[in-house]
Amino acid sequence: MIKPVGSDVLKPLFVYDPEQHHALMREAETLPQILISSQAAGNAVMMGGGYFSPLTGFMNLADALSVAETMRTTDGLFFPVPILCLLEDVEAIRGAARIALRDPNMEGHPVLAVMDVEAIEPVSDAQMALMTEKVYRTLDPEHPGVAAFNGQGRHAVSGPIQVLHFSYFQDDFPDTFRTAVEIRNEIAERGWKRIVAFQTRNPMHLAHEELCHMAMDRLDCDGLVIHMLLGKLKAGDIPAPVRDASIRKMVELYFAPNSAMVTGYGFDMLYAGPREAVLHAYFRQNMGATHFIIGRDHAGVGDYYGAFDAQTIFEDEVPEGAMEIEIFKADHTAYSKKLNRVVMMCEAPDHTKEDFVLLSGTKVRELLGSGIAPPPEFSRPEVARILMDYYQSLD
């Protein structure tokens, strides 16, 4: 199986030993407490599950700035984006050597992790702007990722962590949430050697489904891991339980047995386009995928990024040899009326726009909200039914 990034073995930060876990939970109640941001909580969950291996905790300011500029820490460790615990108010933990991090996304704010505090550093506006510009390629406060990143606070609390909980992800999505450790184990149990991963924050329509089949065929893969984001999205995106149900129905009906896994991970979407695409590839290698599909405007939002920036960054900016996972570069896929099948649009040069079945997101939402299924060339009827039920429930 493919090795994790930067290490021979995966290094999850979740405390699995029951006695040690219990002791840490007891200790956490005696420690100075701090309520962290949703983004920091997502970082802790990802480190806990081994997705961000070999990181041992939250980065200090020097490492975060170095990663933003060069995708390497000051010690040379490759990582695509700063992994920070940014706070507005640190008075409750000032001078503390060890603290408990509380979860902002669950009722009662349970302890998420215990941290050994190595530094509490003020972050200047100029430093925040540098990191924002490098990671998001814009300083526009209307960009949802920029707004979330800059809304956390101006103190970076760094140090190694021991993760004690996977937030609401494990509780709310017991059949879907999986750690990198668990996915690696299941891949091994299934006997897969070549595995392609597909990232999604949306339901999968026919074009997505066929893109996955295309990638599996062309790469000669044994299996597909559909890996959906279960964390916070922007307003208007379809909730995770609805996406989960629609994707499971599609796999059940249109994929061969033992050819596809439906899984999810706990993290808030950054909408950072190219940089987030590299992060997505990073943790897909850690979960055991040998290949990863990246299409047009991967992890983008609005018009902030070029259509293929998330592909070219791997050639232009990612340090050579930093990752072993291979990228499957995909163009927009759509149903061809001429060929009566889904194709990559770049592979049909004799087609005009009118030769494809193309529907805007707005048009699809209008149809679903009116109880009208999109045409079968766009969406499987069984998937459309789940989505129609959701949109009609909003009325």
Please identify which of the residues 190, 202, 365, 385 carries the catalytic annotation: 202
Catalytic status, residue 201: yes
Query: Is 277:325 a contact under the CB 8 Å cutoff?
Result: no
Of 131-140, 169-178, 191-200, the range with the lowest mean pLDDT is 169-178
Of 35-39, 143-147, 170-174, the range with the lowest mean pLDDT is 170-174
Whether CATH 3.40.710.10 fits 18-170: no
pLDDT at 60: 98
| CATH fourth-level superfamily of 178-393 | HUPs (3.40.50.620)
Confidence of residue 102 (pLDDT cuts 50, 70, 90): very high
pLDDT at 107: 94
Q: Which of 282, 302, 312, 313 is nearest to 361 (CA)?
A: 302
Please identify which of the residues 154, 194, 201, 248 carries the catalytic annotation: 201
What are the structural domain ranges in the chain? 18-170, 178-393
Over residues 150-172, the pLDDT tens digits come to: 999 999 999 999 999 999 999 88
Sign of CA dihedral 207, 180, 323, 233: positive
| Arithmetic mean of pLDDT over the chain | 95
Percent of the chain with pLDDT over 90: 88
Is 126 exposed, middle or buried (CB count within 10 Å of its CB: 0-12, 13-18, 19+)?
exposed
Distance separating alpha carbons of residues 97 and 119, to the nearest angstrom: 9
Confidence of residue 126 (pLDDT cuts 50, 70, 90): very high
Helix axes 361-369, 381-393, angle to 10 degrees: 70
In the structure encoding, which two tokens stand for residue 13, read together? Answer: 């930060």
The pLDDT of 74-96, averaged and rounded, is 97
The pLDDT of 335-362, averaged and rounded, is 91
Distance separating alpha carbons of residues 321 and 132, to the nearest angstrom: 26
Q: Is the bond preceding 54 in cis, omega lying within 30 degrees of 0? A: yes
Over residues 220-250, the pLDDT tens digits come to: 999 999 999 988 766 677 888 899 999 999 9
pLDDT at 363: 85
